Amino acid sequence: MSYRSVFTPHLFANKVVLVTGGGSGIGRCTAHELAALGAHTVLIGRKPEKLQTVVEEITQDGGSASFQVCDIRQEDAVKQTVAAVVAARGRIDGLVNNAGGQYMTPLEAITAKGWEAVTNTNLTGGFLMARECFVQSMHKHGGSIVNIVADMWGSMPGMGHSGAARAGMVSLTETAAVEWGGRGVRVNAVAPGYIASSGMDNYPPEVGPMLREMGKTLPLGRFGTESEVAAGIVFLLSPAAAFISGTTLRIDGARPQVRMGWPMRVADAKAQTRDAIQPFNGFHRAQTPKVFS
Q: What is the mean pLDDT of the chain?
A: 93
Mean pLDDT of 95-107: 90
**Lowest mean pLDDT, pick from 99-108, 169-178, 240-249:** 99-108
Is pLDDT above 80 for 202? no
Is pLDDT above 90 for 12? yes
CATH code of the domain in which 94 resides: 3.40.50.720
Mean pLDDT of 213-219: 84
Residue 251 belongs to a domain? yes
pLDDT of residue 261: 76
**Lowest mean pLDDT, pick from 5-14, 15-24, 212-221:** 212-221
pLDDT of residue 208: 78
Residue 220 belongs to a domain? yes
CA dihedral 256, 4, 97, 113 (to 10 degrees): 70
Strand order in the sheet with 64-69: 64-69, 40-45, 16-20, 94-97, 143-148, 185-192, 248-251
Is pLDDT above 80 for 207? no
pLDDT of residue 101: 83
At 218-248, the pLDDT tens digits run 889 889 999 999 999 999 999 999 999 999 9
8 Å CB contact between 113 and 129: no
Residue 9 belongs to a domain? no
More confident residue, 256 or 95: 95
HEC per residue, the chain: CCCCCCCCCCCCCCCEEEEECCCCHHHHHHHHHHHHCCCEEEEEECCHHHHHHHHHHHHHCCCEEEEEECCCCCHHHHHHHHHHHHHHHCCCCEEEECCCCCCCCCHHHCCHHHHHHHHHHHHHHHHHHHHHHHHHHHHHHCEEEEEECCCCCCCCCCCHHHHHHHHHHHHHHHHHHHHHHHHCEEEEEEEECCECCHHHHHCCHHHHHHHHHHHHHCCCCCCECHHHHHHHHHHHHCHHHCCCCCCEEEECCCHHHCCCCCCCCCCCCCHHHCHHHCCCCCCCCCCCCHHHC
Residue 10 belongs to a domain? no
Residue 6 belongs to a domain? no
Kindly tell me the burial class for residue 85, based on how many C-beta atoms sit within 10 Å of its own C-beta (0-12, 13-18, 19 or more): buried
Strand partners, 66: 42
More confident residue, 250 or 264: 250
Mean pLDDT of 131-141: 98
Structural domain count, the chain: 1
At 67-79, the pLDDT tens digits run 999 999 999 999 9
Residue 58 belongs to a domain? yes
Residue 83 belongs to a domain? yes
| Domain boundaries, position 63 | 16-256+263-292
CA dihedral 106, 167, 194, 249 (to 10 degrees): 170
Residue 278 belongs to a domain? yes
